[in-house]
Amino acid sequence: MKLVKSVHDVIWDEYKSYKEVKLYISKWHVVDVDWNKYSENFTIAYKENNEIDLLQTLHNMGGDIILRVAIDLGVDTPDFIPSIPTFKNELKSDYKTSYDTFISAYKKIESDPSLAIGLANSALESIIKEILKDERISSKVNGNETLYKLSIIILKEFNLTNEYFPRELKTIGSSLLAINQSIEKLRSDKTFFHGKTDDDYIIKDSIYSHFIVNTISTIGLFLNSYYKMLYPKHEVEMELEDDLPF
């Protein structure tokens, strides 16, 4: 119910007229006419004046359709992808380039799972590169590193691979590295980001893009939080002149 209301408000805010709203909704409406058999994926409802009843129409949609509409509009879906709203806020304030890339990935989760995974991978690469630009971090990158190589560097800088750490902490480091390596391999081997032939397996099911994008959100939040803990921002103290006239 809350998601439908949010989608409803965003659609009206974006399109502002019954005509534009109906045109947008029609893009999601699929009608199948086979001889005397008629079927549709949802029913478009109308008011007495023959204008679209958007709220009722959205309620007529199945959960999978309303979720895809929400993602297309950039509406947060915390019940389905819980870490993404927080991650988006973090990116927006600290990593502009990564934010734009991640939003593009988020909007493609349903319509193009392969592209969503590739873009999300790129967003995480960009975040790590930005963190490693900090002058207080000794390791530097040349710009050509992949997600796996960047992960090795930042985990070492964060000391998460220290052999003297408790086993549980070392497991976090090694698990992060394994996950990021797998995400990179998916991007390289199972998406269109690198040239593919008709015989190659390509991820086309959105259940995988949901999982990967949500995983990248969680990893990104952890790395950014850990970075802020180890390297807090400098606080600049303002010095006042003694001879100020007030």
pLDDT digits (tens, 9 = 90+) for 109-146: 888 899 999 999 999 999 999 999 999 998 888 878 99
Does residue 241 carry a pLDDT above 80? no
Instruction: Give the lowest-confidence range in 40-44, 186-190, 227-231, 237-241.
Output: 237-241
The overall longest dimension of the chain from CA atoms, in Å, is 91
CA atoms 20, 23, 27, 30: torsion sign: positive
pLDDT at 170: 81
Question: Residue 63: pLDDT band by 50, 70, 90 thresholds?
Answer: confident
Give the integer Cα–Cα distance in Å for 216 and 70.
20
The fold of 77-230 is Four Helix Bundle (Hemerythrin (Met), subunit A) (1.20.120)
Of 166 and 99, more confident: 99
State the number of CA atoms in the 13 A half-sphere of 99 facing the CB.
Answer: 13
* 163-222 pLDDT tens trace: 777 888 788 888 999 999 999 998 888 887 665 556 667 888 888 888 899 899 999 989
CA distances to 47, 49, 126, 148, 195 from 70, rounded to whole Å, are 23, 27, 26, 32, 31
Mean pLDDT over all residues of the chain? 85
d(CA 116, CA 137): 30
Question: Residue 184 and residue 99: Cα distance in Å, rounded?
Answer: 19
pLDDT of residue 242: 52
State the pLDDT at residue 15: 94
Between CA 208 and CA 154 the distance in angstroms is 26
**Overall average pLDDT of the 93-102 stretch:** 88
* Cα 152 from Cα 191, distance rounded (Å): 23
Q: What is the pLDDT of residue 197?
A: 57
DSSP string, 78-138: TTTSTTHHHHHHHHHHH-HHHHHHHHHHHHTTTT-HHHHHHHHHHHHHHHHHHHHT-TT--
Q: For 237-243, what is the mean pLDDT? A: 49
State residue 37 phi and psi, 5-degree precision: -100, 130
Distance CA 4, CA 182 (A): 35
pTM above 0.85, yes or no: no
pLDDT value at residue 246: 40
Q: What is the pLDDT of residue 199?
A: 63
Q: Where are the domains of the chain?
A: 2-67, 77-230
Write down the pLDDT at residue 240. Answer: 46
Q: Which of 143-152, 191-200, 235-244 has the highest mean pLDDT?
A: 143-152
SS3 state at 10: helix
